[in-house]
Amino acid sequence: MDNTANNISCRNCNSASVCFKKLLPDELDYLDKHKSRVIFSKGETICKEGNFSSGVKFITDGLVKVYIEGPNKRKIIVKLVNRGDFLGLSSLYGNTTYSYSATALRDTDACMIAREAILDLILKSGDFGHEIVKWYCESYRLAYKKLESIGFKNLPGRVSDVLLYLDQPKFREEDVFKYLTRSDLAEMAGIPMESCVRVLSEFNESNIIQTRGKEIRLLNTDMLKRISRAG
């Protein structure tokens, strides 16, 4: 982790999310005084489940996997976050520890914002708070879809859900598959890696996807959606 990176003024930041654009100039200046810029290297742990959270991390550039850990070092990757996303919002009220772990999939630039500053801005700016709630609600929606997939679907349905999730424009722009191992994909689906590799091979043979090394190209998203709906 490099915390010597120069801070960029919030007024001049090109990576600011919609919520920060709702703040007035003096509120952005206040935010400047309560944040620091940090760069995490690829593979570095950004936060650890159960550790104390002193603030919120806003991703200005990068790609991060967010996961929960179970017995025998098992992991389930809940989601990926990249530019414009947050880590640590769930610790603003009540529990002040992280409920998940996060690791950088590539070099990641983040702003660490003091917990009290975010809370003050939520109270002062209704528009800012509104956008934070919208982001948080979308995050919860994804968590419930993940629970539905892992809890009720068979192996092809789970893998289909992962591939469709990664087909979002923001991940296509990242060329996301070059940062993900087959183990990562298996942990996103909540299945053993051998099972994930087998399903991907079946999809490839059926011309639903095309695989080449780590690269995966989706050829028939309609079929993936049908497999997903079938469970």
Least confident of 20-34, 100-114, 152-166: 20-34
Could you report the per-residue pLDDT of 89-128, keeping only the tens digit for each?
Answer: 888 887 788 999 999 999 999 999 999 999 999 999 999 9
- CA 201 – CA 18 distance, rounded (Å): 40
> Which tokens sit at 136?
């948080």
Q: Name the pTM for this structure.
A: 0.92
Q: Is the pLDDT of residue 2 over 70?
A: no
Of residues 212 and 91, the one with the higher pLDDT is 212
